[in-house]
Amino acid sequence: MIEYRIHGRGGQGNVAAAYLLAAAAFEAGFMCQAFPAFGAERRGAPVIAFVRVSKDPIDLRSQVRNPDYLIVQDETLLADPKITGGLKVGGAMIVNTPRDGGEIGQTFGCNAVTIQATAMAVETIGRPIPNTALLSALITLTGNFPLSALEAAVGKRFSGDTLAKNLELIRKAAATVEAGAWKETADA
């Protein structure tokens, strides 16, 4: 089983990211779960969402406490030293920031990659919603399932110009990271 935890703020598409990641996994033939945990339900409030992916049926019905991967959609959340709490040994995180991934990884004691997902989203889709770019980069890094599965999931959620722009964003984000760089983490 592969477990993901997504940290962000209200309005960044955290819950949508969880559902899209699960839908992409489903498109690739996996069983999956996706669900959020809310505090204050308002724009800008911290939000956490969870995803589980497995080839076998998933019986767990709890929050993801020991994720394999973290997605951090808002770099201000890095001010919380507990953000990587429970991250499995050898786990990794992708962060939406212009900061250096090596520096962040050293600070938190894990493998970290950064991309400027919000800037790419504004440039490509015209809105500051980094979720699709981050998912694309994560899937490219891990190789857990093909990027075409994310494209198919996005195609079932969006249409027209919104779909075309999101597909363009997926391709741009995938090109910013090294394909398969986290393959060892994914196979562990």
Question: CB of 135 within 8 A of CB of 152?
Answer: no
Question: CB of 137 within 8 A of CB of 118?
Answer: no
End-to-end Cα separation, the chain, in angstroms: 11
Confidence of residue 187 (pLDDT cuts 50, 70, 90): low
Q: Residue 62 has what pLDDT?
A: 83
Least confident window among 12-16, 108-112, 123-127, 131-135: 12-16
Q: What is the mean pLDDT of residues 24-38?
A: 93
Q: Residue 183 has what pLDDT?
A: 82
Structural domains of the chain in order of their starting residue, each with its CATH number: 2-187 (3.40.920.10)
User: Over 60: is that where the pLDDT of 188 sits?
Assistant: no
Which DSSP symbol is given to 75? G
Amino acid identity for residue 177 in this structure: V
Most distant pair of Cα atoms in the chain: their distance: 42
- Tell me the per-residue pLDDT of 133-170, one tens digit each, with 9 for 90 and over: 999 999 999 999 999 999 999 999 999 999 999 999 99
Express as a percent the part of the chain with pLDDT over 70: 95
User: Over 80: is that where the pLDDT of 38 sits?
Assistant: no
Q: Mapping DSSP to helix (H, G, I), strand (E, B) and coil, where does residue 167 land?
A: helix
Average pLDDT of the chain to the nearest whole number: 93
| Residue whose structure tokens are 């962000």 | 8
- Tell me the per-residue pLDDT of 51-89, one tens digit each, with 9 for 90 and over: 999 999 999 888 899 999 999 999 999 999 899 999 999
